[in-house]
């Protein structure tokens, strides 16, 4: 995390970027190409295909899949003599490498935004605690040992959502810390128009098409009107829903967004286009669309249930 004097730029935008993530991403991509796609681990390739899973190589992929999955390779200990000893020690080494790769990705999560905090160590501890808990919640989901090459491959996976996922840990930290919550949410003016429009059509969800913007998925995405007034943020979401689903669904097409919301009971989502960004994780909508969102939500309360989908580039 970069520091300018005692000021830390802090927001709850979690995305993999900058040079720190680049190193972690390179590790993951290397494992995906040299380990998964090679002939050394054919069973793993078959397992990934049958399970419809993929190794995480980008931030968008992590949010769209709702999980992070990394690999690790290991070789037998020098003292191993029997085939059993070689396999066990190689798998143990591969597991450690996989957890290290996961930690590298988590350390590369950039926490950036627009709230200024003067105590850098406190903010760093928040991220550190989340990383530690996240690694504890990770699971080894697959192993393979190549006897000819004497090399093991281990895959470790952890969810983005749910009480035991990365999101749940971060949300607990954010919403449980009055200082962070105040700076992130309570200091922002809420959108409350004096004359809401009357929508004849009832919308029970929201799709924001942000394909024309440099918008990044995050554990907390917010929506503002042109005046900087807040329409959508974690405080609008039921806590249980927030932990389970986060701030919404993420996809790359409007039709996919409709399908994702339909799986959660949404029949007629309001579809709007983003009018810009305030930060890479905070979108801005036009005043006309802000009125539509506010008025529609008054009828069906879809924001409280995070029935929101973001369409990315």
Residues 277-291: tens digit of each pLDDT? 998 889 999 999 999
Better-scored residue on pLDDT, 312 or 10 = 312
Better-scored residue on pLDDT, 106 or 270 = 270
Average pLDDT of the segment spanning 249-268: 95
Structural element, H or E, at residue 258: helix 254-262
User: How far apart (Å, rounded) are the C-alpha atoms in residues 89 and 276?
Assistant: 52
Nearest 10 degrees: Cα torsion 190, 191, 196, 202: -90
pLDDT computed for residue 127 by the predictor: 52
User: How far apart (Å, rounded) are the C-alpha atoms in residues 275 and 289?
Assistant: 9
Per-residue pLDDT tens for 98-146? Answer: 988 887 776 654 443 333 333 433 344 455 555 566 666 788 999 999 9
Average pLDDT of the segment spanning 247-275: 95
């Amino acid at each position: 995390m970069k520091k300018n004097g005692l000021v830390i730029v802090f927001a709850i935008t979690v995305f993999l970027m900058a040079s720190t993530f680049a190193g972690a991403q390179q590790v993951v991509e290397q494992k995906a190409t040299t380990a998964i796609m090679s002939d050394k681990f054919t069973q793993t390739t078959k397992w990934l295909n049958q399970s419809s899973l993929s190794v995480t190589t980008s931030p968008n992929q992590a949010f769209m899949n709702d999980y992070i999955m990394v690999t690790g390779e290991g070789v037998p200990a020098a003292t191993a003599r029997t085939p059993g000893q070689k396999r066990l020690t190689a798998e143990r080494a591969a597991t450690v490498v996989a957890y290290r790769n996961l930690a590298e990705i988590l350390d590369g999560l950039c926490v950036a935004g627009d709230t200024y905090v003067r105590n850098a160590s406190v903010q760093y501890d928040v991220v550190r605690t989340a990383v530690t808990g996240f690694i504890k919640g990770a699971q080894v989901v697959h192993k393979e040992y190549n006897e000819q090459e004497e090399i093991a491959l281990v895959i470790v996976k952890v969810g983005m959502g749910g009480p035991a996922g990365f999101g749940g840990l971060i949300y607990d930290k954010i919403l449980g810390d009055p200082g962070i919550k105040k700076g992130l949410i309570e200091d922002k003016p809420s959108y409350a128009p004096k004359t809401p429009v009357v929508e004849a059509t009832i919308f029970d969800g929201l799709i924001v098409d942000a394909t024309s913007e440099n918008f990044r998925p995050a554990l907390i995405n917010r929506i503002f009107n042109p005046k900087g007034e807040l329409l959508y943020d974690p405080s609008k979401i039921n806590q249980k829903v927030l932990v389970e689903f986060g701030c919404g669904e993420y996809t790359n097409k409007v039709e996919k967004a409709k399908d994702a919301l339909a799986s959660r009971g949404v029949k007629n989502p309001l579809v709007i286009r983003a009018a810009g960004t305030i930060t890479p994780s905070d979108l801005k909508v036009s005043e006309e669309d802000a009125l539509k969102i506010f008025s529609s939500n008054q009828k069906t309360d879809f924001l409280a249930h995070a029935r929101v989908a973001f369409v990315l580039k």
